[in-house]
Amino acid sequence: MHSPKVCKGLDRAEQVSCLADLLLESPSQWLDKPLLRFRKADGEWKQWSRIKVQQAVLRVAAWLEKQGIKSGDRVGILGHNCPEWLIADYAILRIGAVTVPAYFTDSAEAVQYVFDDAGCSLLLVEEGAQQAKLDGYDKPMLVFHGDSDSLAAIAGDDAWDGQLQMPCPTRDDLATLIYTSGTTGYPKGVMLTHGNLLSDVWAGLGGVPVFSDDVFLSFLPVSHAFERTVGHFLPMACGSEIAYAEDVTTLMRDMPEVQPTVMISVPRLYEKIYAGVHAKMEASAIKRFLFEQAQSLGMQRFELRNKGEDLRGLKAKLWKLLDGIVNAKLRAKMGGHLRLFVSGGAALSPRIANFLLAADIIVLPGYGLSEASPVLTVNVEKNIKPASVGPALPGVALKLADDGELLAKGDMVMQGYWQKDAETKEVLDEGGWLHTGDMVEIDDDGYVFIVDRKKEIMVLSSGENVSPALVEQHVTHDPCIEQAMVIGEGQAWLSALLMINEEQLRLRWRGKKRVLPENWREDESLKRWLLKRIKRESQDLASYMQIRKLLLVSEEWTQLNGCLTPTLKLKRRHIRALHQDEIDELYASSESK
């Protein structure tokens, strides 16, 4: 009988004195194991062992010390996910300095704001387009790559071996300032100590064990709290391997090559997978029938297994057949070894969670925020409630305020906002409770169900409260609709701004019997047709949550044009400002009729 696998990261996260020790104080049997995997310029994958990364980190730490960087000094990092990003972070943390990550998707102005606000002494920067964001910026900097005068060159120079003198920091020392991506206003620097982050790693592993033979595929920006904790620190604690996807656009190519066992993602990836599968089903009635049967039986199987049971007899045999025909191909595209997805950053639609679970792809919706290092809740594999974000992790206390806002407490909760005492007092009360700003419901099992952001709840002129995110989830189930933002604050009814998937629209428009009109975004008959489709998707919503009017936009909302946060949440205020004249006309023209 095989003994159960042990999650060694659980004890390590509790025992080490600082984050750098997750790497530097490793069991001897891990030293020669692959730790990092990345694609070289020639397209081939390369692996670095744990001991190689340890050497690189200690050399860069010695170099930082030589530059005069002291405990508590802030050091900025700007670049895509890569080994040099990880080496830079662990080197900064090793000497007790404070890592200040900036988002590679941000504008030059936003990047410079973060580094100025933090008072960075030195910047470690990816050469090329990222470095160009700092042209004329008066701060010392070192680029990631290059034969000399680069982080990579220092990491490979054994002259730095044995030079480091600085003691390790403690769990009470400040580790990082993570600037909240923020859907409104200027970002604030969330102050997290080594102890905050280690507590969250420990809590996360208490909910979802990870093992030394796991392989993570990293593609979310490591500058974001979710990827940093769960895809950067947590696998380091467990002896797992981290592979860096070349880009978010190459994921479907990288997954079969890397064969990950664990992936951390925001809902957008799952939405893309869902839309892709459904688009293929449209092409064949037979494929659609087999898919629907596999989904139905797969959901029965999932619900039984949640109760410790399973399909039996003829249903079990039919499931095995359908699974091989329908689901196996989808799992193979993901590498064939995926043990679980962890979803966070925004609410995952229950319909999409059910689609994955019915295909025997485990997805664990969770919840957190930067101010909590960031994870607070996650579904448990043996009892997944797809519509929820799971129960509180070990060490996390939750309660509801009188108005339904979620309050959280635990060792992972931040110290406050950098140099912003008033803003800190707004979210951290005297009892140590973090006011999350999220409206939720909690069931009898302690599972949390997100309603919406407190500030984003809309009130119609009738007094009805509307969660825009809930309506948007329903609307974007239609493959013709790529993105949606619901509007209607103070109005009698809801409208929606839609970004249309033109290819899918052409396939479906009036059963392919009509060519799309040239000015289709203004065509009223097409809008009526879309509204009927939206009504079918939203039939379980209350009448006041139904969409009455549409505005079809021509430009996709992205991080680059300032419409999305790094976790792909809508920046509603910015998007509304871009289309304010059209929105005003939409409501004015309806009122005049």
pLDDT for the residue numbered 181: 63
Chain centroid, CA 199 distance in Å: 20
pLDDT in tens, 531-579: 999 999 899 888 989 999 999 999 999 888 889 887 788 889 899 999 9
10 pLDDT tier (thresholds 50, 70, 90): very high
**CA-closest candidate to residue 535, choices 547, 553, 523, 526:** 547
Q: How do residues 196-207 score in pLDDT, each as one tens digit? A: 999 999 999 999
Residue % of the chain over a pLDDT of 90: 77
Euclidean distance between CA atoms 322 and 331, whole angstroms: 13
Residue with tokens 């009698």: 492
| pLDDT, tens digit, 9 for 90 and up, residues 205-239 | 999 999 999 999 999 999 999 999 999 999 999 99
Report, as an integer, the average pLDDT of 490-514.
85
Under 8 Å CB-to-CB from 8, ≥6 apart: which residues? 27, 212, 237, 238, 239
State pLDDT tens for residues 479-492.
Answer: 899 999 999 988 98
Mean pLDDT of the chain: 93
CATH of 457-591, one of 3.30.70.1730, 3.30.300.30, 2.30.30.100, 3.40.47.10: 3.30.300.30
List, in order, residues 6 or more apart from 344 with CB less than 8 Å away.
226, 230, 264, 266, 365, 366, 367, 368, 374, 375, 378, 567
Q: Residue 99: pLDDT above 90?
A: yes
Q: Please tell me the pTM assigned to this model.
A: 0.87
Residue 249's Cβ-count burial label (10 Å; 0-12, 13-18, 19+) is: exposed
Regarding predicted confidence, which is higher, 91 or 284?
91
Q: CA neighbours within 13 Å on the CB side: how many for 201?
A: 32
Which band of pLDDT confidence, cut at 50, 70 and 90, is reported for residue 510? Answer: low
Rg (CA), the chain: 25
H and E: helices and strands count for the chain = 22, 24
Decide: residue 13, CB within 10 A, 0-12 exposed, 13-18 middle, 19+ buried.
Answer: buried
Do the beta carbons of residue 50 and residue 205 sit within 8 Å?
Answer: no
Domain boundaries, given as residue ranges, for the chain: 9-33+47-211+220-234, 457-591
Average pLDDT over residues 295-322: 95
Calculate ∠ Cα 570-103-500, nearest 5°.
30
Q: Does this chain's domain 9-33+47-211+220-234 share its CATH topology with 457-591?
A: no
Class assignment of domain 9-33+47-211+220-234?
A: alpha beta
Question: Residue 413 to residues 98, 191, 195, 322: CA-CA distances in angstroms?
Answer: 17, 9, 10, 46
What does the alpha-carbon distance between residue 122 and residue 69 come to, in Å, rounded to a whole number? 8
